[in-house]
Structure formats: C-alpha cells, structure tokens
Amino acid sequence: MRPLPAVIFMSRWLQVPLYLGLIVAQGVYVVLFLKEVWHLVTASMTLDETNIMLVVLGLIDVVMISNLLIMVIIGGYETFVSRLGVEGHPDEPEWLDHVNAGVLKVKLSMALISISSIHLLKTFISPDQNSTHTIMWQVIIHLAFLLSAVVMAVVDRLTTHTHPAHFHEPAVPQPVSTPLKAQD
C-alpha cells in the first residue's frame, strides 16, 4: 500500500480514544442509575405515585441512553475501526452481524426518539414544573426527531432498493476482459 493511503487508512484508529471515552461515560451512567435506584428505595414510603413514576421514567431514560452508548460504541467500532471478532460468541448481539452505517443510523434515530419520548412523557406527567414555552420546544424537538427518522428511513429504503447488490450480496470479482487479437 502506498504511504498516503496507508496513513489515511490507519487514521481510523484515532477513533479508539473516543470509544473508550464513551465507555467511561457509560460507567458514569451506571453510577447515576444506582444513585437513582437508591433514592427510589429509600424515599419510596414518602413519594406519591406521580413522583415514583417520574423516578422510574428517569431510570428508563438512563437505561435507554446507556443502550444508545452501547450501540454507538460497538456498532461504531465495528463499522468504522475494526472487526470485534466475536462471531459465534454466545453473547454476541444479534444486530451486530448485519451492522453497517445505514443500520446504525436507523438504530440511533430510534433510540433518540425513544429517549425524547421519555422526556416528553415526564414533562406531560408534571406539566406544572415546565413553562408552556419549554413544553412547546420539547414537542417541536421530538417531532424533528420523528421527521428526521422518517426521512432517513425513506433514504435508506430508496438506496437499498436502487442498489441492492451493494447491501445484500458480497462483492464478487468480475472477470477481466481482454481485447481480442485481430485475425490474420
């Protein structure tokens, strides 16, 4: 391989510290989750149903963000850096065997919509804690997530239907044709 393409190809390894940083962020979310569970358990006798529901929705939110982190860490590393080499491992995520940039975008958009839905639900459960302006912007942001997911799905659908061989079949080397020699 020529030097410049080799350097460009090796530059993908610069993403490794980013994925390691996301693993640290996931550890922070684990600590936050445990803190919220502790708060729920210790205050369960003094909280009313609405507040318990808000805490539980907060726990679900942390889990969903953690799932988003896992998708980005594992899917991003597998797609953009290097293969993980976990084929056949009993704990291999089922989605990992067909992950690509398109699948990753759809999974991430669905995770963002789910997280936004949880935040919106928390807002609707306790609307008196938010201004009308804040609620309006949360709804607009949620609708923007929904619209962008629909647009990504349509683009993905059009792309895979237009060029299905690029997405579903392995590349097969084509025979090289040679010009015919002129007959004497």
With a CB cutoff of 8 Å and minimum separation 6, the contacts of 6 are: none
pTM: 0.70
| CA distances to 34, 39, 51, 52, 142 from 46, in Å | 19, 11, 10, 10, 33
124-175, pLDDT tens digit by residue? 888 778 788 888 998 999 999 999 888 888 887 887 766 555 555 455 555 5
With a CB cutoff of 8 Å and minimum separation 6, the contacts of 97 are: 87
Rounded CA separation 20/173 (Å): 37
Read off the tokens for 24: 């640290």
13-48, pLDDT tens digit by residue? 999 999 999 999 999 999 999 999 999 999 999 998
